[in-house]
Amino acid sequence: MIKRTLFFGNPAYLSTKNEQLVVNFPEEEKEEKTVPIEDLGFVVLENPQITITNGLLMKLVQNKTAVITCDKQHLPCSFVQPLVGHTEQTVRYRYQLDASVPLKKNLWQQTVSAKIYNQALHLKSRGKYSLKLERWSKEVKSGDTQNHEAIAAAHYFQNLFKNLDGFSRNQKGLPPNNLLNYGYAILRAITARAIVSSGMLPSVGIFHHNKYNAFSLADDVMEPYRPYVDALVYDIVESGCNIEELTTNIKAELLMIPALDVVIDDKQSPLMVAMSRTTNSLYECFEGISRKILYPEFE
């Protein structure tokens, strides 16, 4: 079942009754609305004047619904996660924490290779075929010691948005960097939610390890999924709409990321479901059941 994403950009009072999320709009003459909590996968809270009851927060967390709050720039900045995301959480933590350095280097090699290959497939779908990316995806070594990930990313974005004067991928750079930032933040929350549901720590990565980063593993696992966000942003740019600011319509399109169709293990699946398969396969690698992370292939 595809879980719903709710976005709140206006002042609202959110509470719960009879296992429903209840929405009231104090500054508008709108009737009360209700949504079954079991249907929700993500709730995005953007307006600083939103009030949410503790009872609702508790039920959302118990349902493994990701509650995302936004900062003054309207970008997602926090993610509420449950303390217990899986019944075998303790033993799964142990397998993750005990993972050997060679294993983590191999997992990062697989991740970078999958990311570069998906970037190559995305460019190919836009008529911008890159032999370099396909070749680099096969040349990634254990631990990506030659930094193919960064080299490929620079080449990829130069070709993807080469018609936009002055564009380079930079968080504080020119549009559509603002759209990419928003999309990646949503993707990060999707990944963190799946990691917690698979009984692992999102803060303990296989490559990323900044002590100030609470979502290092999410930043690792989401890498091969980034081209799906890039594709959505590319379509928005090509539509000719104003991308100087994140309008409500643009945000609505980017909030469709969890429901995007992806192909994983030769089967079509919503992205958020595919992500759960990826994180579960990662845990199996930590446990020693498998040696391969299951990632989608861009089509």
If you search the block for the tokens 């989608």, which residue do you land on? 296
Q: Print the domain residue range for 51.
A: 4-80
8 & 94 share domain: no
3-state secondary structure of 65: coil
Average pLDDT, the chain: 94
pTM: 0.92
Residues annotated in a binding site: 149, 208, 223
List the single range of 68-77, 153-162, 218-227 with lowest mean pLDDT.
68-77
97 & 54 share domain: no
Please say which residue of 80, 110, 140 terminates a domain: 80
Mean pLDDT for 169-186 is: 95
* Structural domain contains residue 255: yes
Quote the strand ranges of the chain, DSSP E.
4-8, 13-17, 20-24, 33-36, 40-45, 51-52, 66-70, 76-80, 261-264, 267-270
User: For the sheet containing 20-24, what is the strand order?
Assistant: 33-36, 20-24, 13-17, 51-52
Q: In angstroms, rounded to a whole number, what is the distance separating the alpha carbons of residues 258 and 1?
A: 12
Whether the bond into 176 is cis, omega within 30 of 0: yes
The pLDDT value given to residue 74? 85
Q: In angstroms, rounded to a whole number, what is the distance separating the alpha carbons of residues 65 and 45?
A: 13
Mean pLDDT for 171-190 is: 95
Mean pLDDT for 144-149 is: 96
137 & 159 share domain: yes
What would the pLDDT profile of 231-277 be if each residue is shown by its tens digit?
999 999 999 999 999 999 999 999 999 999 999 999 999 999 999 99
100 & 248 share domain: yes
Determine contact, residues 162/49, Cβ cutoff 8 Å. no
Determine contact, residues 81/58, Cβ cutoff 8 Å. no
217 & 175 share domain: yes
The tokens of 11 are what? Answer: 């002042």
Tally of helices (H runs) and strands (E runs) in the chain? 10, 10
74 & 95 share domain: no
Is residue 84 over pLDDT 90? no
| Number of structural domains the chain divides into | 2
Pairing, β 267-270 against β 76-80: unpaired
164 & 266 share domain: yes
Is residue 211 over pLDDT 90? no
99 & 186 share domain: yes
Residues annotated in a binding site for Mn(2+): 149, 208, 223
What would the pLDDT profile of 47-83 be if each residue is shown by its tens digit?
999 999 999 999 999 999 999 999 988 888 888 988 8
13 & 150 share domain: no
Please say which residue of 80, 114, 145 terminates a domain: 80
146 & 255 share domain: yes
115 & 199 share domain: yes
pLDDT range class, residue 1, cuts 50, 70, 90? low
The pLDDT value given to residue 112? 98
Going from the C-alpha of 32 to that of each of 14, 20, 49, 154, 174, the distances in angstroms are 10, 12, 17, 48, 40
Q: In angstroms, rounded to a whole number, what is the distance separating the alpha carbons of residues 193 and 82?
A: 9
Please say which residue of 58, 80, 102 terminates a domain: 80
